[in-house]
Structure 1
Amino acid sequence: MTINTSRRGFLQGAAASGAALYIGATANGAMAASGSADAMLNNFVKIGADGRAIAICKHVEFGQGSATGLTTLIAEELGVTMEQIDYEFAPSNPAIYNNLLFGPFQGTGGSTAIANSFPQYRNAGAAAREMLISAAAKEWGVEASALDIVEGMVTGAGKSAPMGEFVAAAAEMEVPAEPRLRDASEWKLIGNAQTRRLDSPAKVNGTAMFAMDVQLDNQMVVMVRRTPQRGGTVVSFDDSASKEVKGFIMAQALPTGHGVAVYAENTWAAMQARNALEVEWDLSAAETRSSAEIKDEIMAALNTEPTYNVNKADRAAVKSSVDGAAQVIEKTFYFPLLAHAPMEPLNCTIEQTADGDIVLHDGAQMPTGPHMAYQQIFELPAEKIQIKSMLAGGSFGRRATPDADYQVEAGLAFIMTDRSRPVKLVWDREDDIRGGYYRPAAGHKVRVGLDENGTIVGWDHQVAGQSIMKGTAFESFAVHDGIDHSTVEGIADSPYTIPGQALGLTDTEKATSVLWWRSVGHTHTAYVMEVMMDLAAKAAGKDPVDFRLDYLAAEGDAARKAGVLKLAAEKAGWGNPAAGRAQGIAVHKSFGSYVAIVAEISGNNDDGIVIEKITAAVDCGIAVNPDTVVAQLEGAVGYGIGHAMRDQITLDGGAVEQSNFPDYEPLRISDIKAIETHIVASAEAPTGMGEPGTPPSAPALANAIASLLDSSDMLAELPMAEAGVYFA
């Protein structure tokens, strides 16, 4: 066992009852410890003398189950039950709590929470176990190899005692850099379908503290009257009517000019006073296009030579192969802007301590962003800024923006006061849907050529849309050779082996503000790939499953993709739907995971189409918490299908027309009668689960509808309801 002697020492209390053990892991697995709570370095485990363990979670919990997953890894290696451990959110400190897949940046997203933390958190738990065991072995005069920790008890060599008894002694031990990790055969929690989420009881009984629940003494509530068209600025405002609202405090234009902040004693007063404002806007630099104009720009780009040859194919040769094919299947697709619309609208609370520290209470998805922004806004060093992460009621990407938009808004609102009172920023639903960031609009034009045997001989694919990454702080590592990979992911890196494929990309002007949305580019690329595979299979006279398998190799990524395709087909009884029903299938890889979906539907387009059942199969490597995997897949399927059915963001003269759930309707529980999930048993490293269920869900439904109606004409443009599909 190697020992790290350069970083040693645990928190040492005056008595065992006050002792606490803090342990962490660096990016390369080397262990570190700290001397006090104020100087914790790389801490992931905290253990009190009472034996109660706490996992320090570097990823925010907004419903995806990361807090339970990370805690499970600590508990498994440490040797405690899920009832013997709690969790806390880590403070903002990217030097310690960075996302190992993001670089020197602390953040949650891209379905990376478990994927980047799996070895790190296991090492932390294992190191804690070994140190407590070493302390017990020394006290008992036995070999450490004879001991283990089981359900919080150090046991072996005929002896047994609560691990809390050894915390003070363990504080004197050096930290093992390479602790022994438990073999998979020893696991009791990892992969256990009976392991339940730690945050569920508090959310059910109402004691869970979400960011919206923060209520500090003497706080003010601020709401912002924002420009109706993105890019507009305030010329002047009249708050005469606002002053008549009980609880109104003041109104001030934000330093950026993008809105007027209205301060009040409570949320209702802030809302009423804000609505009473009269504002004159300068819209000379604002978005003025309509959705029809944006669509026309994208469609025009699809009919010109693409700016970027993504896969460096001989485009002329591919075009010739398609033109000369026995059959040509051609389709043009359009995908509208989409809002994130989490259940909890954006909010955060900011205060200043007696020591001059700035404290932000927030369901922060990427705390490094606001932390850096606040250093500039308040002209303070990083150590004078604290970000306290709270539970968040959903995100789907919205709480992580390149410009930390709502946190900056809160900071600017606070700096315009005397800072004697905390300020809570609240967005309402209309703010979120009308003034937010959107999944980019995109278009695809695909021409597939088949020979006389129904084999693909050419696939000419053009994409046009709005780049998420260009012009942001993420451009340097997300854009290469001018290509924003998030626009073409799912095509450029597809496990399908498609002969004669050319992929071109053209960027179009961004409409309002665009942002990653649950599964990012895969939301539209998977739809196009899987609908086109179905159309090609039909033209070839082949079963859609068999046709896909023809283009999936027997090893690597392709084999895993084929595995979930076969499993979903088997579990859904593929090819044998009940009378009056039709099935559709789709399969896709995203964020390292493989998901196949079979949608079974009934009805007709006159009386309405009913989604009878969704059968899903997923290969996400080791399923740390199977119960969470199932929940995430169900949620992702509902998110993908619900938006494809009826949702879009449209602009009229640059202003968003939708405002709330009546005209931007989320999926309802009655929309899908049943969802059944099957997890592939795997020893591969864990991969993402927050997003991979979304991409194949909509194309599976589309393919089922095409089969039921014997037509795909209505499925090239989303949402389906706007294209003529009627749902019961």
Structure 2
Amino acid sequence: MTEKTKSGRRRFLLGGLGISGALILGWGVLPPRQRLKGSQTLPVHEGEIALNGWIRIAADGQVGVAMHRSEMGQGIHTALQMLVAEELDVPLSSVTPFAAPVDKIYGNMAMLADGLPFHPDDDGVLKRVAQWMTLKTARELGLQVTGGSSSVKDAWQPLREAGATARAMLLAAAAQRWQVQPGECTTQAGQVLHSSGKQLSYGELAATAVNMQPSHIQLKKPADFRLIGTPQPRREAGLKVNGKAQFGIDAHPPGLLYAALSLTPVIGGKPKSWNSKAVLAKPGVKQVVDLTTAAGEHGYAGLAVVADSYWAARQALPALATEWDAGPHSQLSSAKVFAELAEKLEQESGFTYYERGDVAAGFASKQVAKMITAEYRAPFLAHAAMEPINCTAQWKDGQLDLWVSTQVPSVAVAVAASMLNIASEKIQLHMCYLGGGFGRRLEVDMIRQAVAIARQTEGRPVKLVWSREEDTAHDMYRPAALARFTAALDAQGQVLAYLNRSASGSVTHQVLQRSFGVPGAGPDKTTAEGEFDHAYALPHQKTSHVIVPTPVPLGYWRSVGHSHNAFFKESFIDELAAAAQQPPLEFRRQLLAQQPRHLEVLNAAVEKAGAVPAGRAHGLAIHRSFGSIVAQVVEVSIEAKQIKVHKVVCAIDCGIAVNPAGIAQQMESAVIFALSAALYGEITIEQGRVMQSNFHDYAVLRMNEAPLVETVIIPSAEAPEGVGEPGVPPLAPALASAVFQLTGQRLRSLPLKLG
């Protein structure tokens, strides 16, 4: 590693200290704070006993487990319940989930630590110190966030400790009652057993156990797991089938009003004049609310019509006859965005995320036989979650109730409290299931809007619902990105030097400003992740990124930077294999010779895919993201000049597979999500306006287009890593590889379109 790389990382860390340095220096020498007990006692129902900040036990032995992460279809509630049930020795059927309150012990530490821009193979002192400081900062911040494929990874230790501690307390309670040593007792299926034949249920012991303070807590070894590692059906599936599951859009408190939106058609615009009188004359209409001040930084200004039904509110919108102030971005276009990205790449060196060896010397070597260059592009993308954006709010008697599908409950409460200038204790957050998130519900714009409207409804609750058209045209989009590669090969096809430079806007900079009021500055790992942190053994390499600020609202999109950077990197590796006159598989095997876990995943995917049928081709890609390694083999044909995907084999090493059934479901979900983007996904901007509005012009994969997906889970004893997002990045490059083999066309822009 060169000194230049180290200096770049120091600049990053010092930039972070500029924001949180006072906090870090103030308590950085102290030991980490515990995550077992919250700042307040865990809420309980009559007859229940809370044993710690995660677990409560009822008299009938039913175990309540606090769900501190949002269930948005990824099956996380099932996995989290499994962690507790394993260590507590109870059947999964006896566990009941409930929404965790807002408390710092539920903060997501792993996600923030994963945001550091270090190479995965780096084990240096600087990285360890930075991770330690970041984890401590995360513990103090206590942000309850579901994102970054971090839920199981973050909960792996505290939830198991909560279960093991509760089990030890119950053992101690039984031993005290029987006047024996705790070591003489065992647990099984929610019972404490003694060798004499005595037994007591957890429900019978809970009231005594709450006063026990066991001195030694022992977590199970993986070899002793009975539940973890076994495929389990989704525990909330029944509620979704019978209609009892409560999503945000299902909220229906008494006296409910409804609000429909009309947002600025031009990015950065705002309403200038409108006809409130005409709208108020419409049947059922109660109010017109100006939401301009609720838009905040990088948000959308607009108007809301409040009525006694959503239909009445929607039907009244045209009567607003709004005249819009287009603002400063009325000439913005996708073409201009990409032109600026290209210009900045020419003018600026950007931030170097990783550098090894001497790239300039590699390019100047006399051994160079070929120079390969390529440029890749990826467009803005919308999230297109199935449940429309919504939020229900009631502001009454100095108290706020919020019903919302959100990935950031603690941020939602903080933002609402700030808007109303009240303490967070005055807010009751009713957590709901999410009908898809993909990063869109990391945002709090819908909460700002709903609270702003509720302030004017005289105590009545109001449900704000975005139309699909407003959602598509007013999203927080995945950034448009441009990447350039140059590589030198010797006569034997060995890579001598590798240069990767890219440019895009920064999601993190915008989110910090939009959600926390903190100006974004310095490098943003998400812009270059998937490019600088690859596992290929390249002797001279350098990866840098130029952040190009944009007025287009940007947000985290499933797998974030990996979603397009994997396409860039893996596609270029394919181009290098072709230039070296080697099969893509063998070329990768050589470059991954010192990466046994990568090789195992790659070989497993290829073996499972088997022989390619006549008239079709196999494309492959391998990518590490969120700690997990995923290889995919995509089986493709060309029919009537259209790309058709028949089958995708997906192999994953995600560490210990807590719920193999859930992992397979997430790989299938990721393939469909990624394939939709690879074939169709594109948000285009003209004259400051988003051109797409609904699924007719922002398509997602239809059922008849969905391929067979086969998942291979690599056995592992390593701690769990991410699952929800890692299945997305390899799909597009594997698909492009197969298309090249069939047609000879090298598709370098997303979505993939045959010429």
Question: 1:249 aligned to 286, 299, 315, which one?
Answer: 286
Distance 1:510 1:519 in 2: 21
Distance 1:41 1:687 in 2: 28
Match status 1:371 vs 2:380 = no
Contact 1:331 1:447 in 2 (8 A): yes
Who is 1:597 aligned against?
632
User: Could you tell me the percent identity over the aligned residues?
Assistant: 36
1:452-502 Cα offsets, whole Å, 9 max, x none, are: 000011112110111112254289999999322211111212121212222
Q: Which amino acid aligns with 1:719?
A: P
The correspondence of residues 235-634 of structure 1 with structure 2, limited to 5 A, is 235-256=272-293, 258-311=301-354, 317=360, 320-321=363-364, 325-352=368-395, 354=397, 356-401=398-443, 404-418=444-458, 420-473=459-512, 482-554=522-594, 558-573=595-610, 576-604=611-639, 606-634=640-668
> How far 1:314 sits from its partner (Å)?
8.1
Match status 1:222 vs 2:259 = yes
Distance 2:519 2:616 in 1: 44
Contact 2:509 2:521 in 1 (8 A): no
Distance 2:593 2:161 in 1: 36
Contact 2:82 2:92 in 1 (8 A): yes
Q: Which amino acid aligns with 1:250?
A: Q
The correspondence of residues 119-268 of structure 1 with structure 2, limited to 5 A, is 119-157=157-195, 158-174=197-213, 176=214, 178-193=216-231, 195-256=232-293, 258-268=301-311
As a proportion of its length, which structure holds more helix? 2
Distance 1:443 1:347 in 2: 33
Q: Which amino acid aligns with 2:729?
A: P
> How far 1:553 sits from its partner (Å)?
4.5
Distance 1:480 1:422 in 2: 35
Change (3 A) 1:342 1:471: closer
Match status 1:720 vs 2:755 = no
Who is 2:106 aligned against?
97
> How far 1:649 sits from its partner (Å)?
0.5
Distance 1:275 1:342 in 2: 26
Distance 1:165 1:40 in 2: 14
Q: Which amino acid aligns with 2:204?
A: E
Match status 1:49 vs 2:59 = yes
Q: Which amino acid aligns with 1:75?
A: A
Specify the SS of the correspondent of 2:597. helix
Change (3 A) 1:314 1:677: closer
Change (3 A) 1:138 1:470: same
Specify the SS of the correspondent of 1:564. helix
Distance 2:51 2:425 in 1: 14
> How far 1:287 sits from its partner (Å)?
4.9
1:46-79 Cα offsets, whole Å, 9 max, x none, are: 1101100111011011111111111111111111
Distance 1:720 1:317 in 2: 33
Who is 2:5 aligned against?
none
Specify the SS of the correspondent of 2:749. coil
> How far 1:168 sits from its partner (Å)?
1.9
Q: Which amino acid aligns with 2:637?
A: S
> How far 1:319 sits from its partner (Å)?
7.7
Distance 1:369 1:242 in 2: 34
Measured on the aligned residues, the alpha-carbon RMSD in Å equals: 2.5
Contact 2:363 2:496 in 1 (8 A): no
Change (3 A) 1:451 1:622: same
Distance 1:268 1:107 in 2: 33
Change (3 A) 1:543 1:477: farther
> How far 1:90 sits from its partner (Å)?
0.8
Who is 1:648 aligned against?
682
Q: Which amino acid aligns with 1:376?
A: S
Task: Tell which deviates more after alignment, 254-263 or 435-444.
Answer: 254-263
Specify the SS of the correspondent of 2:246. coil
Distance 1:35 1:42 in 2: 8
Distance 1:471 1:395 in 2: 19
Distance 2:669 2:262 in 1: 33
Contact 2:41 2:53 in 1 (8 A): no
The alignment's TM-score, normalised by the length of structure 1, stands at: 0.89
Distance 2:573 2:261 in 1: 47
Change (3 A) 1:369 1:31: closer
Distance 2:216 2:593 in 1: 38
Distance 1:190 1:424 in 2: 40
Question: 1:37 aligned to 37, 43, 47, which one?
Answer: 43
Distance 2:39 2:291 in 1: 44
Specify the SS of the correspondent of 1:115. helix
Distance 1:181 1:669 in 2: 44
Distance 1:244 1:321 in 2: 76
- Which runs of 5 or more residues in structure 1 are unaligned? 1-25
Distance 2:91 2:159 in 1: 16
Distance 1:133 1:198 in 2: 28
Count of residue correspondences: 683
The correspondence of residues 670-709 of structure 1 with structure 2, limited to 5 A, is 670-709=704-743
Contact 2:655 2:719 in 1 (8 A): yes
Distance 1:655 1:480 in 2: 25
> How far 1:178 sits from its partner (Å)?
4.6
Who is 1:13 aligned against?
none
- Which runs of 5 or more residues in structure 2 are unaligned? 1-31, 113-137, 296-300
Distance 2:684 2:42 in 1: 53
> How far 1:173 sits from its partner (Å)?
2.1
Distance 1:645 1:596 in 2: 19
Task: Tell which deviates more after alignment, 245-254 or 681-690.
Answer: 245-254
Task: Tell which deviates more after alignment, 521-530 or 316-325.
Answer: 316-325
Change (3 A) 1:255 1:283: closer
Who is 2:6 aligned against?
none
Task: Tell which deviates more after alignment, 507-516 or 319-328.
Answer: 319-328
Who is 2:698 aligned against?
664
Who is 2:4 aligned against?
none
Change (3 A) 1:568 1:252: same
> How far 1:315 sits from its partner (Å)?
7.7
The correspondence of residues 70-109 of structure 1 with structure 2, limited to 5 A, is 70-93=80-103, 95-101=104-110, 102=112, 103=138, 104=141, 105-109=143-147
Distance 1:468 1:319 in 2: 34
Q: Which amino acid aligns with 2:636?
A: I
Distance 2:638 2:169 in 1: 63
Change (3 A) 1:293 1:51: same
Task: Tell which deviates more after alignment, 318-327 or 59-68.
Answer: 318-327
> How far 1:40 sits from its partner (Å)?
7.7
Contact 2:510 2:520 in 1 (8 A): no
Distance 1:251 1:68 in 2: 43
Change (3 A) 1:42 1:470: farther
The alignment's TM-score, normalised by the length of structure 2, stands at: 0.86
Change (3 A) 1:667 1:484: same
